[in-house]
A = this chain, B = another copy of it.
Amino acid sequence: MPVGTAGSVKALSPNDVEGAGAEIVLANTYHLWVRPGHERIKALGGLHKFMGWKGPILTDSGGFQVFSLREKRKVAEEGVNFRCLVDGSKRFLSPELAVEIQEALGVDIAMAFDECIEWPASKDRVAESTARTTRWLKRCQQARKNSDKTALFGIVQGGFFHDLRREHIEELSSLDLDGYALGGLSVGEPKEELLSMVDFGAPLLPFNKPRYLMGVGYPCDIVEAVIRGIDIFDCVIPTRSGRFGHLFTSQGRINIKNAMFKDDPNPLDPLCTCYTCAKFSRAYLRHLHISKEALAPRLFSLHNITFYQRLMQRLRAAIEGPEGELEALRVEAWGWQSRFGEAEISGENK
C-alpha cells in the first residue's frame, strides 16, 4: 500500500497511483483527525470521495503516531493524552475514538488502536503493554457501529519475546477479526530481529485471514516476509526515498545525484514501463533533482511505487508459479539492494 498520510500519496495524483498498479492505499487516522478533521471529511462524503481514490483504503489507528511522540504523550488505561505536533493542542485518543474516526472516514479497513512501545523494552513492560493492547482491542470491537462497511484488523504485539507473541496471537485469533497485523516491529531493532519475529509469528496467525506487516520495508524485506506468509505491506520508503532521489531499479539502487548520470541518456530502469522511465533520461532526471524542480519528486515517487507494485505482482505470480520461481525472485530482490554499477561490475545481476 502506498502511504497517503494526509489523504494524498505525496507528490502523486490518484491517477498516478492507480497507473502505478496500486489497488489500495494507506492513510493516517491521526493526521486526518487533526487536519482537516474526520467530521469534515465525513460531511464531504467520506475519505474516498475527499481524496479522489476509488479503491480500498486502510487507515492505521493513530497508535504508531502517538507512540512516535515519546515524551509528549502520557499513556493511561483510558487512552493517550498528548500534545499535538501539528497545531500544539492538547488531545486525547482512545480505542473508541480511533474507531469513531476511522468509521467517519468511511475507510474499508480500520486498524485497532494499540500501544506500540520502544525497542528494547523489558519483558514486564512488554507483557503489561500487550495486555493493555488486548483490552483496547476489545473496546475497539465494542465501539464499532459500521462493521458492514469498515473491517477491523487487530494488531499483534508481544515485543521480541516468543512466548508473549505466541500468547497474544492466540488471544487475538480467538476474537475473529477481519485481519491481523504484526505490530511493534520496525521500531529500531536490527533487521534480523524483525525477520526472526516474522519467521516466528506469521505461521501462528490464522491462515484464512489477511496478514499485514506494518511499516516494512525494502524490496528484499518484502520478499522475505512474503515467503514467510505475509500478504499486506505499507511503507513510506518508495515515496520518501523518491523525494531524496533514491531510486529502486532492476540494476540496483540509484542515487540520482551521482555525477555518473550527468550525461546518461538511458531511462532510470530499462525494464520499467512507468511514465518516468518511458519518457526521460537519467541525465534529465538528475538535472531536475539538482535544480530542485517540483517534477522530480513526483517522477521519482511514481517510479518507485511502480517498482514496488511490479514486485508485488511478480510475487503473486511466483507463489502460483513453478517450483523455484519464488526463490529466484528472492535472489533477484537481494541484487536490487546493491548500488547501481556495483552489481554490473561483479556480474551478479546479469
Contacts and interface: CB of A to CB of B under 8 A. Distances in A.
A44 B8 contact: no
B40 A293 contact: no
A225 to B, nearest CB: 29
Interface in A111-169: none
A12 B298 CA distance: 9
Interface string A255-276: 0000000110100000000010
Copies of this subunit? 2
A241 to B, nearest CB: 15
B13 A295 contact: yes
Contacts of A51: 284
B11 A287 contact: no
A238 to B, nearest CB: 14
Contacts of A297: 294
Contacts of A293: 6, 8, 10
A263 B43 contact: yes
Contacts of A288: 6-8
B44 A7 contact: no
B40 A263 contact: yes
A280 interface: yes
A45 B275 CA distance: 19
Interface of A: 6-8, 10-15, 35-36, 40, 43-45, 50-52, 262-263, 265, 275, 279-281, 283-284, 286-288, 290-291, 293-295, 297-299
Given A6-B287, A8-B295, A298-B298, 4 more contacts: A7-B287, A10-B295, A44-B284, A50-B281
